[in-house]
Amino acid sequence: MNQTIQAIQAIRGMNDILPDEAELWERFDDAVRGWLRAYGYRPIRMPIVEPTPLFTRAIGEVTDIVEKEMYSFVDALNGEALTLRPEGTASCVRAVLQHSLLHAGPQRLWYAGPMFRHERPQKGRYRQFHQFGVEAFGYAGPDIDAEQIVMCARLWDELALTGIRLEINSLGSVEERQHHRAELTVYLERHQKDLDADAQRRLHSNPLRILDSKNPHMQALIEDAPRLMDFLGEASLEHFAGVQVLLKEACIPYRINPRLVRGLDYYNLTVFEWTTDKLGAQGTVCAGGRYDGLIGQLGGKAAPACGFAMGVERLIALLKQEHGEEAEQAARGAPDVYVVHQGETTQLPAFRAAEALRGAGYDVLLHCGGGSFKSQMKRADASGAQVAVIIGDDEVREGSASLKLMREDAPQKRIPLDLLADEIGNYLFGDDNDGNL
Ligand code: ATP
Ligand code: MG
């Protein structure tokens, strides 16, 4: 009866992030948080599960996300329709309205965390992925659009990422899109036999979305379609020009892509995407734009809004590709001190010494699990620690510890326990750091 037990695996498209990589993520998070502070954005944290109607209303019924990508389920306990959030903007707007944050004036907010979309998993496209999202509420002018774009450019610089290109477009107003839609529909009907199944389906429900198609067989047809840009009125054109003046002022190169329509329904006026060639097919690392109608659409008092979201997996992949080992190495945390101990009486004193050093502010790895002195010193070396604190029976009798510099050739030295933290400080931070203890 030798039954083998099947090991359980993670869900397809949902990844474990192992320590080597997770340390890189933490460094990335730290850099991003500092950058957000520099632009006056404040954190907000929303639940991961929301009522399903929030997303159908905000994102639009006829979008990839709502049509086929949402993890929706019925709460078995009370029958509520729930969804794992596929993006953060809808939740963020809900939270802002629920807590009347806009009563206090305009808000610059950011959030981060996992998002869920039931897509076909492939490199750079997962079912659980992570975003940093930025939303500004209550600002109507093109200055905030431009600031958000400029701030992205600064982040790429700070992360030393190169070759991320900016595309922008304007989606105009609802009325302008309606005029365009009418002409677009006539055009697409004329070419109906060349439309793929998705496009056939969207021809009357959401034709603008057809322009977003990635199907290579449709590209020529899309190229010749009526352009939304030609339907924009004076106010929309002025807003778009205003954004561009500021981008030029900041020396940010960009390309106007009249076919950039974004995958979500809530956008108007400015939309933008940052894309790289270095990640294969999933090259968009950051995308966003203005969505002045969404707050009203979700039941709030109308207020302008503009935001973007970055795909963390794709940016980390880019970091690794451009800076490889160097990036992971820089992110790897090493303790200041590794405590080695061997002997009958050493466990308790070593435990106490490690706690005392942590109390003094050091990062300390206490050797656990025994083993020979030699094997413990090997571990100390591999840990990357600057110094090893060695406690044997002799040291315990004496109330001392031996200090060994791991990265320099210097003789080991006995130090009374109560002076240990200071001695280590002298070595790690002292002016006379010449290898002498
Ligand atoms: P795509 O056209 O690639 O499907 P999208 O328009 O659906 O992208 P957004 O909703 O704008 O993407 O999300 C913002 C960013 O989040 C994307 O630019 C991308 O970097 C990242 N992202 C979106 N979906 C995924 C996913 N399934 N896996 C990993 N990252 C993703
Ligand atoms: Mg998508």
Percent of the chain at pLDDT exceeding 70? 97
Say if residue 237 is exposed, middle or buried (CB neighbours under 10 Å; 0-12, 13-18, 19+): middle
Does ligand 1 have an atom closer than 6 angstroms to the CB of 307? no
Closest Cα to atom 22, ligand 1: which residue? 311
- The answer to whether the beta carbons of residues 21 and 29 sit under 8 Å apart is no
| Domain harbouring 267, CATH code | 3.30.930.10
Q: Is the CB of 263 under 6 A from ligand 1?
A: yes
The total number of structural domains that make up the chain: 2
Max mean pLDDT range (7-16, 203-212, 330-339): 7-16
In the predicted structure, residue 435 carries a pLDDT above the cut 50: no
Residue 286 lies in a domain: yes
The tokens 């031996």 sit on which residue?
402
338 by Cβ neighbours in 10 Å (0-12 / 13-18 / 19+) ranks as buried
Q: Are residues 306 and 368 in the same domain?
A: no
CA 395 / ligand 1 centre spacing (Å): 59
In the chain, the percentage of residues whose pLDDT exceeds 90 is 81
Grade residue 205 by pLDDT with cuts at 50, 70 and 90. Answer: confident
Q: Residue 208's pLDDT band (boundaries 50, 70, 90)?
A: confident
Report the nearest-CA residue for atom 25 of ligand 1. 125
369 and 289 in a common domain: no
> Which tokens is 338 given?
């590794």
Same domain? 37 vs 92: yes
- pLDDT tier, 212 (very low <50, low <70, confident <90, very high otherwise): confident
In a domain, 183, yes or no: no
Which residues form the domain of 31? 19-172+232-326
- Residue 159 CA, ligand 2 centroid: distance in Å: 25
What is the arithmetic mean of pLDDT over 256-284?
90
- Among 307, 326, 345, the domain-final residue is 326
Asked if 254 and 154 sit in the same domain, the reply is yes
Inside any domain, residue 84 = yes
| 179 exposure class (CB count in 10 Å sphere: 0-12, 13-18, 19+) | middle
For a mutational test of ligand 1's pocket, the pick from 284, 286, 291, 315, i.e. the residue with the most ligand atoms closer than 8 A to its C-beta, is 284
Specify whether 153 is located in the same domain as 243: yes
Taking residues 327-346, report their average pLDDT. Answer: 88
The reply to whether ligand 1 has any atom less than 6 angstroms from the CB of 261 is no
- The residue-averaged pLDDT of 284-309 equals 96
SS3 at position 159: coil
What pLDDT is recorded for position 333? 82
Our answer on whether the CB atom of 152 is closer than 6 Å to any ligand 1 atom is no
CATH number at residue 423: 3.40.50.800
Q: Does residue 354 share a domain with residue 307?
A: no
Both 49 and 131 in one domain: the answer is yes
Any domain includes 86: yes
Same domain? 373 vs 417: yes
Ligand 1: nearest atom to the Cα of 310: 15
Residue 206 lies in a domain: no
Q: Are residues 260 and 402 in the same domain?
A: no
Query: What's the pLDDT band for 209 if we cut at 50, 70, 90?
Result: confident
Question: Is a pLDDT exceeding 80 seen at residue 314?
Answer: yes
Closest by Cα among 383, 429, 430, 427 to 408: 427
pLDDT category at 329 given cuts 50, 70, 90 is confident
159 falls within a domain: yes
The residue out of 265, 291, 326 marking a domain boundary is 326
Alpha-carbon distances, residue 260 vs 153, 178, 224, 420 (angstroms): 19, 17, 14, 63
Dist. CA 125 → ligand 2 center (Å): 9
